[in-house]
Amino acid sequence: MSFPFLFYGAAPAEWYGGGRLAYEVRFRTAPADGARTAIAHAVRAAGAGFAEIRLDVHDRWHWAEAWARLVVRTRTSETDWAVFFDEVAALFRAVDAACPVELVVCRSVDAVRADDDPWTAWSLAARPDIGPRPRWDARSSGGGDRFAARGAILAVDGAYDAAFEAARRSA
């Protein structure tokens, strides 16, 4: 898989949360309201064709400057994980087309596994310090996260954007 942005944990062999994976996105610049609306429409359009992933409107996206945090769920308990991760890749490519993405990080990955896909294995070996990231909440401090930034935390809490969520529902 190749991406026009860095993607850490694009298809992990192990993760926690079952069929509910958390992702963080850092855009090249903080998306203004119009860009967030374009992202909402791109997400809805991309999601219309997905067989394995579900983007629930009750799973609000949280925003902090150039960052967003979201949850992607599986449709069933018998998910075809290869298709699921292909659809996750398509989702983030659609987001990138709406507003340029710098990096995506899967925050639900578990311990390093010998059977990691080559991209995840390379990402773990070569991961740079991605710089300060938002303080989303007490549970997302990066304790068990293979891709966590071990450095500074931005002095901003993530918050949901009612206008973005309304655009996502109505798209």
pLDDT, one tens digit per residue, over 44-63 is 899 888 999 988 777 788 88
Q: Which phi and psi (to 5°) does residue 153 adopt?
A: -110, 135
Token pair, residue 18, equals 């079952």
pLDDT tens digits, one per residue of 97-151 = 999 999 998 877 755 566 777 766 666 665 556 666 776 654 444 444 545 544 5
**Arithmetic mean of pLDDT, 72-88:** 90
Domain ranges of the chain: 6-170
pTM strictly above 0.85:
no
| Collapsed DSSP state (helix, strand, coil) of residue 9 | coil
Q: What pLDDT is recorded for position 38? A: 95
Interval 81-97: pLDDT, tens:
999 999 999 999 999 99
